Chains A and B, each alone.
Chain A
Amino acid sequence: MNGQPESYNAKKRFMDKRERPGGNITGVYEKLYAVRSMIVMQSAIPGLKGKKIVGITDYSPTGNALTAQFEIELKSKPKNVGWELKRVKDWQEYTSLIKKLNDDEEIGAIYPVALSLQVSDTVTYTAPEIFKWTMENSRKPEMALNYFFAKIGLFGGAAVDFKAMGFLAGKKAGQILNGEKPGNLSIEDAPDYAIVFNMKRAKELGIDIPHPLLTAADHVYK
């Protein structure tokens, strides 16, 4: 039960439309709320104004989906901050990019969502390894895709709220169990997003997050 972007249905038709999918299909779409997250980052990082945020995806199916989501959500970009999406093929290209971005003053933050990077033919790094290295080597604050990423060490921002998504998914499951056909239930965007910050990472980066933002945050990891 996972809603995918419309483009997916265009490529391989599997449902009639998001509002009335048909068949046994329904779900909750994991919306990134990328623009909102960039605005939150702007508020959290005073020096971000006038700089650029670089999104990093890979070429895995998830990476493809995320790339497509960025394209959709960032059709209208926030003011005062730029956006650039970089796609990396493997671990080496990722590390190179991170190092390169470290030296680039125009870059204010990164949005690392490359979650599957092949190191060798037998080794592929996923989020834990990737983010561990990133936090050790990157000097740019990282936007977290979800609050779990912030929990493991990324700087934070407006992250996907799995809890809210799960609540909505559970609600739909309840409706199905009460006899509603799944195809009659529309596919809905994730209703909420979470504001999360990792204070340890912020301290490492020398960023003083405004207190009001911290009080408004859903999770602040220390």
Chain B
Amino acid sequence: MFIKEYLTSFKGKLTALVMTAILLPMIVSSLLLGGMLERRLRASFESRLEAGLKTFSLILNNKEKELIQGLSRIASDNTLQITLELGITPQLRKYLEAQIEVLRFSTLIVADAQKQAVASAGKVFSVFINDEGSRLVTQGTDTLIGHSKPIYKGNDLLGYVLGAVSLKEGNFLEYLHERLVDKYAIWVDGELIATDWKFQEMRDTKDAWKGTDDYKIMVKTIDFGKRRLSYGVLLLLEEERREFWTMVGLIASVVISLFGLIMLLLRRFMRELIRPVTQLTEAASYIEKGKEIPYLDDQRTDEFGQMAIAFKRMVENLRGTEQELKDHRDHLQELVKERTAELEVSHREATELSEFLKKMFGRYLSTEVMNSLLENPSAMELGGERRNVTIMMSDLRGFTALSERLEPEQVVRLLNGYFEVMVEVVHQYNGTINEIVGDSLLVIFGAPQEMPDRAQRAVACAIAMQNAMAKVNEENRNKGLPELETGIGLHDTEVVVGNIGSTKRIKYSVVGSGVNMASRIESYTVGGQILISESVRKEAGAILRIDAQREVLPKGAEEPLRIYEIGGIAGLYNIALEGKDSDLVTLSQKLPLRYTILEGKHIGKKGLEGLVVRLSKKSAEIAFDEPVDLLTNLKMNLGDVYEELAVKDFYGKVMERLEKNGHNYFVQFTSVPPEVVSYFQAHQQHAVKPSAS
């Protein structure tokens, strides 16, 4: 821990750096020197062993050469020849003894022409060498190099002279020991016969020849006939190692001495270098604690002296500015207090405003959209952007006529009850209620928040709204109010959305022809029906259940428009329309009626006649006296069959042509007064049978 702290300090780092700068080159150079020394030693071993082996070979060759030359001379010596020829063995023996003394052979033997030994001198052995080649001869414990020469007098073979030199006895080994610097060893046929080292312990010559950690060896093998003579010189490593380590020790001593000297110098240098740093560090610490700074050596002429002077000046400046900072701090604290109070007021106001906005806009926006807007108030800024949205337009069928029949309070109650439920449904699907005008509801999906599944949400929302009408009508029935039907049109298109208005009155609105198109599509609906445009179908995908489709030509449009009647949607929302109209029943008596063709909301052709053939709660099969365009809105009256109903118009939309050649059409009622409903119900009870078609 102490070491870690020390090494992280400037003093420790500087010491480590300087020591590394000194020690590293010393260690590297020592290692290189050691490595070089070792290589030199190895090379020296090799050359020394090679030289030793050459010397050994030379001695051996000389020995053999002397033997051969000596024998050649003896064989040609007349004295030998005459003593052999005359058989004067004592003189022959004396001659051999004199020769062996001179030649320093181990053995001299003279044999007659029949190879029978006649006289000998020196070591006696029984092995006779037949040719002139050298042979290895083992005699007892001794091994000799033997050679023979024939003795001729003229052309007469007198006999043979055989000589041998011992590799073990005599002066050979002493001579070898004197001449060789290192140890030697001699093997015959792999068996050790002589050495001046402890080779006796090594029976296996191959192991001996490999060398060990104790010695290095170099061996040479030569053939003597069928026998092998191996000889080697070996270098004892113990002594070499001792020398090596002595050298290493010497180098290490020099390195350590140098290191010690450098450390002494370094210590003094470091003290000089570190002292001002320590003083400055302590001074900084004292300043931090608010104490008076200790002594700083500003008399130094180096950079540390300049630093000390600068440090002192800095301390003086700090003291001067300290009071200023305190004043500033007090002032700032006052400001903070004031600002905090202001902010608290603002926050309170903002909270109140937020609550107010939530209450206000919560009616038009879903909670998520509203929260998003509150979190990002910039979205409320004036301005707009192009955005792909799905526009929903709903409208109560026959409400205009209904509102004329009801008291204003009833109309308001009816609408409030209706919108209460619808707005709730729209919020569930994160739709943004852009506008409520009369009985119409304009909802957009995809703005202000982006919605990747805006079309699917819009369709699902429309279905949920239609299904929620049962709840609305149940409430109406309980309150004695008439039931309502709504038609919903959807269109997906690019529009401009944004905050439109002035800084005093602003409204998040949607602008574009797509709004009108949604309204036109909605105008083709009957109660409980949902119609969508091609763009919605494409955007929503294949999960839509399409119950019918047809082409219409809206007013002012150049191209016919294909619209689709939606029965449900699969996928994530998985919802379908509930409570479809009951089946048509054939009336026992056809009811005559008069009808007027309405162009949109306007009354058109009048006084036309038709017959109600079949009837259900919300629709009827009517045989008109002339062709009628599909989706035409009709105003109908039963005044011809029941006088009291002459002022009770009811409305419907031509949905389908039932006979190809006739004028029978399926008409969906869009608004039917209660009196007419009662009249229809009475007729339905007397119906002949349920209609098959």
B83 near A: Cβ within 8 Å?
yes
**Residues of A contacting B81 in the complex (Cβ-Cβ under 8 angstroms):** 212
Q: Are A212 and B78 in contact (CB under 8 A)?
A: yes
Q: Are A215 and B79 in contact (CB under 8 A)?
A: yes
Known: A43-B85, A216-B95. A193 touches B90 (CB 8 A): yes
The residue of chain A having its C-beta at the shortest distance from the C-beta of B93 within the complex is A192
**Residues of B contacting A158 in the complex (Cβ-Cβ under 8 angstroms):** 88
CA distance A191 to B86 in the complex (A): 17
Q: Are A218 and B94 in contact (CB under 8 A)?
A: yes
CA distance A40 to B94 in the complex (A): 16
Among candidates A161, A193, A213, residue contacting B82 with C-beta atoms closer than 8 Å: A213
Q: Are B91 and A218 in contact (CB under 8 A)?
A: yes
| A201-222, CB < 8 A from B | 210-213, 215-218
**Residues of B contacting A195 in the complex (Cβ-Cβ under 8 angstroms):** 88, 91
A34 near B: Cβ within 8 Å?
no
**Residues of B contacting A164 in the complex (Cβ-Cβ under 8 angstroms):** 90
Residue of B82, B83, B95 with most partner-chain A CB within 10 A: B82
A39 near B: Cβ within 8 Å?
yes
**Residues of A contacting B604 in the complex (Cβ-Cβ under 8 angstroms):** none
CA distance A212 to B95 in the complex (A): 12
Known: A216-B83, A216-B95, A218-B94. A40 touches B78 (CB 8 A): no
Q: Are A40 and B90 in contact (CB under 8 A)?
A: no
CA distance A199 to B81 in the complex (A): 22
Q: Are B87 and A216 in contact (CB under 8 A)?
A: no
A87 near B: Cβ within 8 Å?
no
CA distance A158 to B88 in the complex (A): 9
A36 near B: Cβ within 8 Å?
yes
Q: Are A43 and B82 in contact (CB under 8 A)?
A: yes
The residue of chain A having its C-beta at the shortest distance from the C-beta of B153 within the complex is A212
The residue of chain B having its C-beta at the shortest distance from the C-beta of A211 within the complex is B78
The residue of chain B having its C-beta at the shortest distance from the C-beta of A192 within the complex is B90
Q: Chain A's nearest CB lies how many Å from the CB of B98?
A: 10
**Residues of B contacting A192 in the complex (Cβ-Cβ under 8 angstroms):** 90
Q: Chain A's nearest CB lies how many Å from the CB of B265?
A: 88
**Residues of A contacting B85 in the complex (Cβ-Cβ under 8 angstroms):** 43
Among candidates B87, B91, B94, residue contacting A39 with C-beta atoms closer than 8 Å: B87
Q: Chain A's nearest CB lies how many Å from the CB of B295?
A: 111
Q: Chain A's nearest CB lies how many Å from the CB of B95?
A: 6
**Residues of A contacting B79 in the complex (Cβ-Cβ under 8 angstroms):** 212, 215-216
**Residues of B contacting A43 in the complex (Cβ-Cβ under 8 angstroms):** 82, 85-86
**Residues of A contacting B95 in the complex (Cβ-Cβ under 8 angstroms):** 216
Among candidates A36, A194, A210, A211, residue contacting B87 with C-beta atoms closer than 8 Å: A36
| A156-182, CB < 8 A from B | 158, 161, 164
**Residues of B contacting A217 in the complex (Cβ-Cβ under 8 angstroms):** 91
Among candidates B78, B88, B90, residue contacting A215 with C-beta atoms closer than 8 Å: B78
Residue count of chain B within 8 Å CB distance of chain A: 14
Q: Are B90 and A39 in contact (CB under 8 A)?
A: no
Which range holds the interface residue count of chain A? 20 to 34
| B43-100, CB < 8 A from A | 78-79, 81-83, 85-88, 90-92, 94-95
CA distance A164 to B81 in the complex (A): 24
CA distance A193 to B92 in the complex (A): 11
CA distance A217 to B87 in the complex (A): 13
**Residues of B contacting A161 in the complex (Cβ-Cβ under 8 angstroms):** 90
**Residues of A contacting B82 in the complex (Cβ-Cβ under 8 angstroms):** 43, 210, 212-213, 216
The residue of chain A having its C-beta at the shortest distance from the C-beta of B95 within the complex is A216
| A95-147, CB < 8 A from B | none
The residue of chain B having its C-beta at the shortest distance from the C-beta of A42 within the complex is B86
Q: Chain A's nearest CB lies how many Å from the CB of B358?
A: 149
Q: Chain B's nearest CB lies how many Å from the CB of A76?
A: 13
Residue interface mask A53-97, B partner, CB < 8 A = 1: 000000000000000000000000000000000000000000000
CA distance A56 to B90 in the complex (A): 26
Q: Chain B's nearest CB lies how many Å from the CB of A143?
A: 14
Residue of A36, A161, A211, A212 with most partner-chain B CB within 10 A: A212
Q: Chain B's nearest CB lies how many Å from the CB of A213?
A: 5
Q: Are B86 and A39 in contact (CB under 8 A)?
A: yes
CA distance A213 to B88 in the complex (A): 10
CA distance A7 to B537 in the complex (A): 164
CA distance A213 to B82 in the complex (A): 6
CA distance A192 to B92 in the complex (A): 11
CA distance A212 to B91 in the complex (A): 12
Residue of A161, A192, A210, A216 with most partner-chain B CB within 10 A: A216
Q: Chain A's nearest CB lies how many Å from the CB of B587?
A: 178
Residue of B79, B86, B94 with most partner-chain A CB within 10 A: B86
CA distance A194 to B88 in the complex (A): 9
CA distance A43 to B78 in the complex (A): 13
CA distance A216 to B99 in the complex (A): 12
The residue of chain A having its C-beta at the shortest distance from the C-beta of B82 within the complex is A212
Q: Chain A's nearest CB lies how many Å from the CB of B420?
A: 158
Q: Chain A's nearest CB lies how many Å from the CB of B611?
A: 180
Q: Chain A's nearest CB lies how many Å from the CB of B387?
A: 144
| A26-49, CB < 8 A from B | 36, 39-40, 43
Q: Are A36 and B78 in contact (CB under 8 A)?
A: no
**Residues of B contacting A211 in the complex (Cβ-Cβ under 8 angstroms):** 78
The residue of chain A having its C-beta at the shortest distance from the C-beta of B81 within the complex is A212
**Residues of B contacting A213 in the complex (Cβ-Cβ under 8 angstroms):** 82, 86
CA distance A161 to B85 in the complex (A): 21
Q: Chain A's nearest CB lies how many Å from the CB of B595?
A: 178
**Residues of A contacting B92 in the complex (Cβ-Cβ under 8 angstroms):** 216
Q: Are A36 and B86 in contact (CB under 8 A)?
A: yes
CA distance A218 to B92 in the complex (A): 11
CA distance A192 to B91 in the complex (A): 9
**Residues of A contacting B83 in the complex (Cβ-Cβ under 8 angstroms):** 216
The residue of chain B having its C-beta at the shortest distance from the C-beta of A218 within the complex is B91
The residue of chain B having its C-beta at the shortest distance from the C-beta of A195 within the complex is B91
CA distance A211 to B94 in the complex (A): 17
CA distance A164 to B95 in the complex (A): 16
CA distance A164 to B94 in the complex (A): 12
**Residues of B contacting A215 in the complex (Cβ-Cβ under 8 angstroms):** 78-79
**Residues of A contacting B86 in the complex (Cβ-Cβ under 8 angstroms):** 36, 39-40, 43, 213
The residue of chain B having its C-beta at the shortest distance from the C-beta of A40 within the complex is B86
CA distance A140 to B86 in the complex (A): 22
**Residues of A contacting B91 in the complex (Cβ-Cβ under 8 angstroms):** 195, 216-218
Q: Chain B's nearest CB lies how many Å from the CB of A134?
A: 25
Q: Chain B's nearest CB lies how many Å from the CB of A162?
A: 13
The residue of chain B having its C-beta at the shortest distance from the C-beta of A217 within the complex is B91
**Residues of B contacting A210 in the complex (Cβ-Cβ under 8 angstroms):** 78, 82
**Residues of B contacting A191 in the complex (Cβ-Cβ under 8 angstroms):** 90
Q: Chain B's nearest CB lies how many Å from the CB of A188?
A: 15
CA distance A217 to B92 in the complex (A): 10
Q: Chain A's nearest CB lies how many Å from the CB of B654?
A: 169
**Residues of A contacting B78 in the complex (Cβ-Cβ under 8 angstroms):** 210-212, 215
**Residues of B contacting A40 in the complex (Cβ-Cβ under 8 angstroms):** 86, 88
Closest 6 pairs (CB-CB, A-B):
A212-B78, A192-B90, A212-B82, A215-B79, A216-B91, A216-B83
Can you give 12 contacting A-B residue pairs, CB < 8 Å? Answer: A36-B86, A36-B87, A39-B86, A43-B82, A192-B90, A193-B90, A195-B91, A210-B78, A210-B82, A212-B81, A215-B78, A218-B90
Q: A36-B87, A192-B90, A216-B92 are in contact. List 6 more A-B contacts (CB 8 A).
A: A36-B86, A161-B90, A210-B78, A213-B82, A216-B82, A218-B91
A contacts, CB < 8 Å to B:
36, 39-40, 43, 158, 161, 164, 191-195, 210-213, 215-218
